Amino acid sequence: MSDFLKINYSQILENGIVKEKEFKQARSIVSQALEKLLKWKSQGKIGFLDLPYQKITQLKKKVDSCLRGQYKTLVHCGIGGSSLGPKTLIQALAPNASIYFLDNIDPTTFKKIEKTLNMDETLFYIVSKSGNTSETKMQYEWAKSLSSNIAVCTNDQEGFLFEEAKKHGFPLFTIPENVGGRYSVFTSVGLVPALFSGLNVEKILKGGQTVSLKSEELISFVALAYLLHKKQKRNVMASFIYSDELQEFGHWLVQLWSESLGKQKNLNNQSVFEGSFPILGRGACAQHSMLQLLSEGPENFWAWFIEIENFGIENSFSKLIKIEAKATYESLLSKGRPCVSLKLKEVSEGCLGALLFFYECFVALFGLALEINPFDQPGVEDTKRRIDTLLNERR
């Protein structure tokens, strides 16, 4: 499927956890989901599938002229999908870059960072697709009170941030209307911080291009997840990520998984209360915390092991972490606990691009196979409306 990724689920079939007849039927369901996804793409309803193939010449020029060289520090203000993708890229690929991510509204954090910044050398990058996110609007007001060095990333039509960018002449980077926040890492949301930090964005995008949406391997993998979740009632997905450099990726995955797959209504507007609950484990630490529960507790989960093949370092630690992952994987399988494995060739631009795009495709297909919409978030929107109502009452 991709030179950067290796996927293995064969032992689930070999151990008889999933029957071949059911597996074949599930592949047919996922193939139908693929047809629907491609139809939505052709209708312009979704745009994330095109992002790895975009040309970024103009974006690079704009970043070079507006950001790079003028500022030494970037403060990225956003929340949820407006932050998790770029945080993943920067933690894994440019951990020493002078970039701060303000993705919450804890007042102590803002007070502390004010004391550390040289305002003349700092750019505030304010990110919200709608331009009306309450938390991000407050972050923007805070930034504006400190500096006029501001750039905005939002849609190109409307919203508070869009109007502010036009009013004050701030550099404006846009997010396509048909790309949701949790699928936006390959838009200006993620690419601007990546370019600011000096990453090779072309390699990131080319990594995404190596993932084929129509590959039999991807379809089969989604079919397996469908069976484990739908037929065996395993509605918990536990991930073991054996790399400290990919811990922010784990948080990105939790959001992608949760917002895409947790839905009250199906595509026929019937109440189904569908959902798969993600648990994030840091290997090998999780072996000393949640492993006991997964080993001997309820059989309502399946586990996903994410490992690095080449750390770029060969020593006793790199050997031990691989041994521990293998031992944990085999132990759970021996007890009838389904486990799948994804091995990343290395932590590099190409590999991260492949990893992120693989999961976007996987989750989109999984959601459509479950007959839900993996691209909306009505539950989140309800909370946003309630926040706005309460804020207006207090003014």
Residue 225 has pLDDT above 90, yes or no: yes
Q: Does one domain contain both 162 and 75?
A: yes
Q: Containing domain of residue 163, as a range?
A: 69-197
pLDDT range class, residue 351, cuts 50, 70, 90: very high
**Measuring CA to CA, which residue among 187, 139, 149 is closest to residue 169?**
149
The HSE-up count of residue 129 (CA atoms within 13 Å, CB side) is: 19
The answer to whether position 334 is within a domain reads yes
The answer to whether 164 and 335 are in contact (CB under 8 A) is no
Q: What is the mean pLDDT of residues 219-245?
A: 96
pLDDT tens string 36-91:
999 999 999 999 999 999 999 999 999 999 888 899 999 999 999 999 999 999 99
In-domain check, residue 52 = no
Whether residue 7 is predicted with pLDDT greater than 80 in this model: the reply is yes
Asked whether residue 371 falls in the same domain as residue 249, the answer is yes
Least confident of 81-90, 133-142, 206-215, 380-389: 380-389
Predicted confidence (pLDDT) at residue 29 exceeds the cutoff of 70 = yes
The 10s digit of each residue's pLDDT in 373-387 is 999 999 988 888 898
Predicted local confidence at residue 44, as pLDDT: 97
**Quick one: 165 and 287 in the same domain?**
no
Model pLDDT, residue 15: 81
- For residue 94, pLDDT over 90 is answered with yes
Same domain, 87 and 14: no
Does residue 1 have a pLDDT over 70? no
* Total tally of structural domains belonging to the chain: 2
Say what the pTM is: 0.96
Token pair of 95, please? Answer: 């951990």
Residue ending a domain, choose from 157, 173, 197: 197
Nearest to 221 by CA among 363, 106, 390, 380: 363
Whether the per-residue pLDDT at 394 is higher than 90: the answer is: no
